[in-house]
Amino acid sequence: MRVAFLMAPEGVEQVELTEPWQAVIDDGGEPVLLSTKPGRVQAFNHLNKADTFPVDRTVDDTTAEDFDALVLPGGVANPDLLRMNPQAVAFVRQFFDLAKPVAAICHAPWTLVEAEVVRGRTLTSWPSLRTDIRNAGATWVDEEVKVDQSAPGTLITSRKPGDLKAFCATFIQEFRG
């Protein structure tokens, strides 16, 4: 299982990258770090700089067809920067066009809203995104993890770092299915 992890060059919440990444490895999968620019991604622990991680590929030199699934880690700045990048938004939309599973946590659904792939779906997120998600035509719920299997494809969402254990277990199970 080859899983794309898409993030902006900075602003990703480190634990929302590292725990899902490790879950993919532990399941025998291959995580691939994608960004909008080559080099390294600057992660954060909330508002403080944390570690950096090497970019494997950019969204300009790959497509969703190269992967089995997509993980969108959160952080406030990360999805805000991604949703302003047309190539990143198109890359996310490709997963839905191909009915491939997508997992998003915390603020990451902002990118899904921009990609116009949430209408008619039920999902969760960090609570401050509730109105944005509803305005995009989706139903927002306050749950640890939500699996929406509306066509096209499966969408797995969680609210926050405290939900990571359930998020990782659920997306691994759904990605295998």
Distances (CA, A) of 103 to 38, 75, 81: 23, 14, 18
pLDDT of residue 152 exceeding 90? no
Share of the chain above pLDDT 90, in %: 98
| DSSP codes of every residue in 109-153 | HHHHHHTT--TT-EE---GGGHHHHHHTT-EE---SEEEE-PSSS
Q: Which of 107, 146, 159, 160 is catalytic?
A: 107
State the average pLDDT over residues 98-120.
98
Looking at the structure of the chain, the number of domains it has is 1
pLDDT of residue 96 exceeding 90? yes
CATH of the domain at 104: 3.40.50.880
**pTM for this model (two decimals):** 0.98
Per-residue pLDDT of 15-33, as tens digits, reads: 999 999 999 999 999 999 9
Q: How far apart are CA 64 and CA 93, in angstroms?
A: 9
SS3 101: coil
Is 107 labeled as catalytic in the residue annotation? Answer: yes
pLDDT of residue 121 exceeding 90? yes
| Residue 53, token pair as written in the block | 């991680």
Q: How far apart are CA 96 and CA 123, in angstroms?
A: 15
Domain that holds residue 110: 2-176
